[in-house]
């Protein structure tokens, strides 16, 4: 049996949600989204005081897996409803009644960056890249990034990153206020 796409564990009142597709940079696929929905429900039901979200391998999440179809076959909802459905499982973190800490072990790009922004606090790898590169792909930002990012770093800086698709390293992400702390990759969960 293969490893689950997302895992949940709890110890000492700390819940940990781990994206577990390191071979594909923890990118978003239907099975990852379904698994995230299930572990998010586990986290809500668990007796924990906080939840940490992290990834396996060297990447937190590269966002959508463009080799996969995220939108379900035969889905007759309006385009904006189908788009929201792709991110809905990650937005369930907002329903947790405890703080959510993003332990960004590596790159957080696109939808993976959006997942990081949903967290209450973010500790990230100093050498990783962070940002919403949607415009470089001819797409509008998803995952509530255009709502959350300006609230974290201000409208002008958010516009610069969103309109250019520029990625920043951990040191700049900390300086801008995207990360609470930028540390060595090995210390992200430490």
Please tell me the predicted confidence (pLDDT) of residue 57: 94
Please tell me the predicted confidence (pLDDT) of residue 97: 95
First-residue to last-residue Cα distance in the chain: 30
pLDDT digit string, tens, across residues 173-183: 999 999 999 99
Whole-angstrom Cα distance, residue 178 to residue 157?
11
Please tell me the predicted confidence (pLDDT) of residue 140: 81
Please say if the pLDDT value at position 23 is more than 60.
yes
For the full predicted model, state whether its pTM sits above 0.85. yes
163: which 2 tokens? 């309109």
Average pLDDT over residues 151-163: 97
Please tell me the predicted confidence (pLDDT) of residue 67: 65
Please tell me the predicted confidence (pLDDT) of residue 19: 97
CA dihedral 63→178→173→36, nearest 10 degrees, is -30
Please tell me the predicted confidence (pLDDT) of residue 82: 65
Other CB atoms within a 10 A radius of the CB of residue 76 amount to: 6
Q: Which secondary structure element, helix H or strand E, spans residue 85, and what is its range? A: helix 79-91
Please tell me the predicted confidence (pLDDT) of residue 136: 87
């Amino acid at each position: 049996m293969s490893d689950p796409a997302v895992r949940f564990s709890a110890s000492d009142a700390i819940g940990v949600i781990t994206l577990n597709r390191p071979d594909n940079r923890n990118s978003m696929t239907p099975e990852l989204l379904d698994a995230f929905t299930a572990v998010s429900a586990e986290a809500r039901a668990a007796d924990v005081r906080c939840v940490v979200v992290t990834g396996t391998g060297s990447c937190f999440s590269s966002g959508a897996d463009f080799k996969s179809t995220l939108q379900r076959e035969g889905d007759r909802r309006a385009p904006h409803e189908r788009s929201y459905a792709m991110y809905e499982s990650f937005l369930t973190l907002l329903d947790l009644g405890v703080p959510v800490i993003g332990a960004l072990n590596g790159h957080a790009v696109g939808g993976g960056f959006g997942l990081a922004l949903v967290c209450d606090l973010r500790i990230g790898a100093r050498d990783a890249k962070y940002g919403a590169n949607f415009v470089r792909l001819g797409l509008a930002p998803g995952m509530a990034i255009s709502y959350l990012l300006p609230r974290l770093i201000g409208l002008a800086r958010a516009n610069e990153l969103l309109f250019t698709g520029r990625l920043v390293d951990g040191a700049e992400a900390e300086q801008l206020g995207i990360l609470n702390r930028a540390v060595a990759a090995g210390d992200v969960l430490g």
